[in-house]
Structure 1
Amino acid sequence: MAEVMAKVQTKANGQKEAIQPCLEPCPIERGMRIIGGKWKGSILWHLKDEPVRFNDLARMLGGASKKMVNQRLKEMEEQGLIEREVLSDRPIAVAYSITPFGRSSLNILEQLKDWAEEHQI
Structure 2
Amino acid sequence: MKVHGKKIDCPVTATLELIGGRWKAPILYYLSKGTRRFGQIDATIAGISRKVLTEQLKELEKDGLIFREYYKEVPPRVEYSLTEFGQSLTQVFNSIVLWAEQNLIDSK
* TM, length-normalised to structure 2: 0.81
Deviation at 1:63, TM superposition (A): 1.2
1:87 and 1:49 mapped to 2: Cα distance?
Answer: 21
Equivalent position to 1:63, from 47, 63, 81: 47
1:24 and 1:45 mapped to 2: Cα distance?
Answer: 24
Query: Aligned-residue CA RMSD in angstroms?
Result: 1.8
Equivalent position to 2:32, from 45, 48, 52: 48
Instruction: Spell out structure 1 runs of 4+ moving beyond 6 A.
Output: none
Whether the 8 Å contact between 2:61 and 2:67 is mirrored in structure 1 is yes
* TM, length-normalised to structure 1: 0.73
Deviation at 1:89, TM superposition (A): 5.4
Structure 2 gaps, min length 5 = 1-6
Deviation at 1:110, TM superposition (A): 1.0
Whether the 8 Å contact between 2:8 and 2:14 is mirrored in structure 1 is no
Structure 1 gaps, min length 5 = 1-22
How many residue pairs end up in the alignment?
Answer: 99
Q: Which structure would you say has the larger RCO, counting Cα contacts within 8 Å and 6 or more residues apart?
A: 2
Deviation at 1:27, TM superposition (A): 1.0
Percent identical pairs in the alignment equals 36
Q: Give the structure with the higher percent helix.
A: 2
Q: 1:1-121 residue pairs with structure 2 within 5 A?
A: 24-88=8-72, 90-120=74-104
Any idea what the Cα deviations from partners look like across 1:40-79, whole Å, max 9, x if unmatched? 1111121123211001111111211111111110000001
2:99 and 2:46 mapped to 1: Cα distance?
Answer: 23
